[in-house]
Amino acid sequence: MQTVADVIDAASAECRPPSDDVYSLLAPVYDVFAQTIDYDAYASFIRRHEPKDTSAIGLFACGTGRLLATVANRYDIAVGFDRSSAMVSQATARTDAAIVVADLRTCVVQGRFDVITILGNSLAHLAPKNNGPDPLELSFSNVFESLRPGGVLLCDFISPSSVIDGHVMEAIATDDPYQITRTIVTRVTDPDAGGLGPAGRYTYAYKIQDHRTNRTARVSATASIRGYRPTGVLRTALDVGFTEAALVESPPESGDALVARKPK
């Protein structure tokens, strides 16, 4: 398993161009910040909305596997999926559950799951395309195909009011002996991508300080970012075939959530 120290050693100061995807470059650092996320609240959210007698769950965009590790023992089958092999290698070190490197936009596991989740605001990273189907529609359609009849999609998403051009967020996390300061700047490039909401990029700047040696590394990375109008998410779910869909209170992260059921 890669550690924060590996990242520092790989990072000659300011070494990476900002086009690198934050999850491929900085999975261990993401995982340090994820320590403070309340995955028990996500686990309760799943419990509250999953079909009765759920035995198979797919966690799409499972990241470093913290939620998968929290819920896997509840089910006969629990499988994580994520596009980033760096995130998946963190996840495989955390849990014995099966994990697959796969992209939401292309991955179908025909009719296998009672419930599929896309949580932790992962839908925010589906970069809109200029032509062809919207990646949200592709992803929902693939989830629909991967659910058994009566199966349920659970996802959360960021609302348009949280994607503001020029907005800056700063957070600090510690993983002894490191203190990591993360600054995220939002750039909006399309105020209404695909008619669903604003899209652009997050630019992440990390300062990683080792208090034993006073060494400091600085790394930057970017990720596409997208906010969604709740009604647009609801509409997309119905368009791909879900027959029951509702907006519900989200788990602890900021934003809204959707519960959508495939007809029996």
Ligand X SMILES: C[S@@+](CC[C@H](N)C(=O)[O-])C[C@H]1O[C@@H](n2cnc3c(N)ncnc32)[C@H](O)[C@@H]1O
83 binds ligand X (CB under 6 A): yes
Number of H helices, E strands in the chain: 8, 11
CB of 6 to ligand X, least distance (A): 18
Give the one residue of 2, 16, 34, 145 binding ligand X; rule: CB under 6 A.
Answer: 34
Cα 164 from chain centre? 19
3-state secondary structure of 234: helix
Choosing from 57, 61, 180, 193, the residue that interacts with ligand X (CB under 6 A) is 61
Asked if 67 interacts with ligand X (CB under 6 A), we say yes
d(CA 202, CA 216): 23
Nearest CB to ligand X, comparing residues 49 and 83:
83
Contact flag: residue 157 with ligand X (CB under 6 A)? no
Cα 45 to Cα 22: distance, rounded to the nearest angstrom? 27
- 188 near 200, Cβ under 8 Å? yes
Minimal CB distance residue for ligand X: 120
Distance CA 194, CA 192 (A): 6
The distance of closest approach from Cβ of residue 140 to ligand X in the complex, given in angstroms and rounded to an integer, is 12
Range in contact with ligand X (rule: CB under 6 A) among 11-19, 60-68, 185-193, 234-242 = 60-68
How do strand 77-82 and strand 197-210 relate by DSSP bridges?
unpaired
Q: By CB under 6 A, which span of 100-108, 141-149, 176-184, 255-263 interacts with ligand X?
A: 100-108
With tokens 């490039």, the residue in question is 189
Site for ligand X contains 156 (CB under 6 A): no
Helix axes 27-34, 85-94, angle to 10 degrees: 50
> What are the Cα distances from residue 75, in Å, to 55, 56, 120, 199, 224?
5, 6, 20, 36, 33
Which residue lies nearer to ligand X by CB, 49 or 125?
A: 125
State the Rg of the chain over Cα.
18
Which of positions 105-134 make contact with ligand X (CB under 6 A)?
A: 105, 119-122, 125-126
Choose between 84 and 95: whose C-beta lies nearer to ligand X. Answer: 84
Residue 56 main-chain phi, psi, to 5 deg:
-130, 125
Minimal distance, residue 213 CB to ligand X, in Å: 30
Among 4, 7, 8, 23, binds ligand X (CB under 6 A): 23
Residue 257 as a binder of ligand X (CB under 6 A): the answer is no
Binding footprint of ligand X on the chain (CB under 6 A): 23, 34, 61-63, 66-67, 82-84, 87, 103-105, 119-122, 125-126
